Amino acid sequence: MDNLEPRFTLGVVIPVPQPQRETLRAWRREFGGADTEAIAPHITLVSGSYLNTWEKAVAQVRQVASSAASFTVQLGPARTFRPASEVVYLPLLAGAEECWTLHRALLSDALRHESGFAYHPHLTIAQNVPAERLDAAQAALHGIDLSFAVESIQLFDTRRGQWSLSEEITLG
């Protein structure tokens, strides 16, 4: 009988370049607390546990990245997923369609899986903090207009027991 336990957990994200990364880190530190320190600001494309081999999953991520062109992300004023989820995030005013395209391509074949949440391209500012901090984040970041070029994606995994960067893959 086959073992149906996940073999690994994988995440594919869009990293935020400098100097925007430091700006977003400061906001995440202020409103999201210590839990945000360990994770650099990013936009998640896919995340989940997989039964396929690591090599097959990595090959698919590389193939998807090679067929994607660079694009620009523009982040807009803070929004919230409340009451469904206690999260304040920055939505994508530009670049969302490209994220959707990458997300759909990544979820085909080796990375296909079911998720508990519908995909919504965004950058998380605060979660798992008291409501007052979420309210403060949403109020303080109401006039945000921050853009950056997306030229690569990052592949993370938990094969060593914690999230670790496995590879950065240039688009195109």
Task: Show the tokens assigned to 89.
Answer: 């995030």
pLDDT digits over 57-92, tens only? 889 999 999 999 999 999 999 999 888 888 999 999
- Give residue 117's identity as a one-letter amino acid code: F
Chain centroid to CA 150: 13
Chain centroid to CA 32: 16
Chain centroid to CA 107: 14
Residue 4 pLDDT more than 80? Answer: no
pLDDT digits over 107-164, tens only? 887 677 666 668 899 999 999 899 999 999 999 999 998 999 999 999 998 777 778 8
What is the model's pLDDT at position 15? 97
